Amino acid sequence: MAIKVVVLDGACLPAGVEFPPLAVEKYGWEQYPQLCGDDIAERCWRADIIVTLGTAIDRTALEKMVKVGLVICAGSACAQMDQAAVAARGIELLAFADAELATAAAAQDLCDRVSAAINHYIRTCDGSGDEI
C-alpha cells in the first residue's frame, strides 16, 4: 500500500527539525513551507494523510480531498479545525493541541510523535479508515 502524506506548513518548524521516516515501504511525503486558500485543496486532493502545524483546513478544502483518512493538527491548527466537517466526512482527527514549536527540541518531539501516529494509522488501517 502506498501512502501520501502532505504537511501544509513545514516552515513552522525550526531549522534542522525533520519528521522521521515512516515504517512503510511505499510512501510519498510532500512538505510545503506554507499552503493556504485554494492551494490546500489543490495539493491535498489525493493525500491520504494531512499534517497541519498551524494552518486551518476549511470544509470546502476537505470536500475536495477524495482520499484523506487522517488529519493531524498541532498547536493553533487544532482550534481552527472544522471538526464538524472532518467528522461528517468520516475522517479521523488526531490533535496535538499542546504542541510547542518554539524550540527545536519541542518541535522534534512533536515530529517524532506525528510520525509514530502515522505509523500506527498505517498498521491499523488501509488508508481509507477501514480496519485491516
Summarised one tens digit per residue, pLDDT across range 14-57 is 999 999 999 988 999 999 999 988 999 999 999 999 999 999 89
Q: What angle do CA 118, 11, 63 make, to 5 degrees?
A: 55
Q: 3 forms bridges with which residues in the sheet? A: 27
Read off the pLDDT of residues 71-113 as tens digits, 9 standing for 90 and up.
999 988 888 888 899 999 999 999 999 999 999 999 999 999 9
Residue 129's pLDDT is what? 47
Confidence label for 126 from pLDDT (cuts 50, 70 and 90): low
- Residue 91 and residue 127 in contact, taking contact as beta carbons nearer than 8 Å: no
Protein fold of 2-10+28-124: Rossmann fold (3.40.50)
Report helix, strand or coil for 110.
helix
Name which of 30, 54, 27 is nearest 44 in CA terms. 30
Q: Where are the domains of the chain?
A: 2-10+28-124
Phi, psi (deg, nearest 5) at residue 65: -90, 100
pTM of the model: 0.92
Residue with cell 479545525: 81
